[in-house]
Amino acid sequence: MFDTKMLSSDEGSIIEAVRLLKNGEVVGIPTETVYGLGANALDESAVRKIFKAKGRPADNPLIVHICDMEMIKPLVTHIPELAYRCAENFWAGPLTMILPKADIIPDVTSGGLDTVGIRMPSHKTAKEVIKKCGFPIAAPSANLSGSPSPTTAEHVLNDMNGRIPAIINGGFSAVGVESTVISFENDAIRILRPGFISAEDLSEITQNIIIDKGVVEKVSNRSVVRSPGMKYKHYAPKADITIIDSSLEAFKAYIAKHKTQDCVCMAFDESDCDGLGVKTVCYGNTDEQQAHLLFDKLRELDVIGAKKVYARCPNKKGVGLAVYNRLLRAAAFQVVTLE
């Protein structure tokens, strides 16, 4: 067992990370959404190391990260008009577009699909690393498969120590949930995974927005899904989470009735649990705060050894839909809906 090196994001550290990436190694890289496990997207053996480090099923494709529009051209066979408009409006930023892949993208990277997800991150360090490498970087979220996505370099180290040579520390990820993943169908945009770029944002491009049913419904392991990542159990802390979809009053009444000595409330705010006498973990009052904090708080539940957790239900609109989508998976789709 070796120790993974924690690099800062100064010039010398970036040069060291780029050297590792050019040598076909895997490096933990900060982005504005969550940390990624990056490797040369065009190098099969480097990409295989990502799957190994994460313990990721081979049929779950990786997102390919670029730093400018020149870089996308050789990677795909066609860019629809709608995709150009999305790029203009939302890149660099937390949006991934599924496009028909060119042969240059190895099958390992695309999980055997004939499409590839492309994203241009806005995080300064991520952009610099990709630019200095001169090749696109494949990067899934830098967690072990099945655990919450990492929003700090420490989260990455907890999961990846001894599995990858280095991590670049770029601070707390600003957005906190992974990118919005979309595909294009005729004149429509289909949201496969909701993120910080919301359905409402995308409706500036077209009114024709489809939210895939996998976003809020459970998909069976055997079914063919448009975004393979949606079928895996995800983001799960060890605790058993139940989402309480209700008003604050009904939430409080439910906790008062069902609380046990060691249960934990995942609330928006400390005051949500006033007078209930239960341990509380708060994940914020706005959609954006909740997106920023959710994964960190899910990891905190493990740190405090939470077993049974009752969570207040986020908004199901705007950025809230991204929070709801992640929390649903953390809760293995257990929701109690109250009047």
Q: Which residues bind ligand TXA (CB under 6 A)?
A: 31, 33-34, 36, 60-63, 94, 96, 98, 110, 113, 115-117, 119, 139-141, 178-179, 181, 192-193, 226-230
Taking CB under 5 A as the criterion, which residues in 142-181 touch Mg ion? none
Cβ-based nearer residue to ligand TXA, 119 or 252: 119
Residue 260 host element (H or E): none
Q: Are 264 and 331 in contact (CB under 8 A)?
A: no
How many residues touch Mg ion under the rule CB under 5 A: the total is 1
Q: Is 230 helix (H, G, I), strand (E, B) or coil?
A: helix
CB of 16 to ligand TXA, least distance (A): 20
297 binds, among ligand TXA, Mg ion, none (CB under 5 to 8 A by kind): none
Alpha helices in 35-100 (DSSP H): 44-54, 69-72, 81-90
Q: Going by C-beta distance under 8 Å and a sequence separation of 6 or more, which residues neighbour residue 151? A: 34, 35, 172, 173, 176, 292, 295, 296
198 binds, among ligand TXA, Mg ion, none (CB under 5 to 8 A by kind): none
Can you say whether the dihedral through the CA atoms of 111, 116, 122, 124 is positive or negative?
positive
DSSP character at residue 101: B
Cβ-based nearer residue to Mg ion, 141 or 179: 141
180 binds, among Mg ion, ligand TXA, none (CB under 5 to 8 A by kind): none
Q: Going by C-beta distance under 8 Å and a sequence separation of 6 or more, which residues neighbour residue 184? A: 80, 82, 83, 97, 98, 99, 190
Does residue 141 belong to the site contacting Mg ion (CB under 5 A)? yes
Binding mask 40-59 for Mg ion (x = CB under 5 A): --------------------
CB of 96 to ligand TXA, least distance (A): 5
Query: Nearest CA to 198 among 114, 99, 297, 89?
Result: 89
CB of 228 to ligand TXA, least distance (A): 4
In angstroms, the CA 150 to CA 283 distance is: 16
Phi and psi at 240, nearest 5°, equal: -90, 110
Cβ-based nearer residue to Mg ion, 141 or 152: 141
CB of 229 to Mg ion, least distance (A): 6
In angstroms, the CA 14 to CA 16 distance is: 5
228 binds, among ligand TXA, Mg ion, none (CB under 5 to 8 A by kind): ligand TXA
CB of 70 to ligand TXA, least distance (A): 20
CB of 175 to ligand TXA, least distance (A): 8
Positions touching Mg ion (CB under 5 A) are: 141
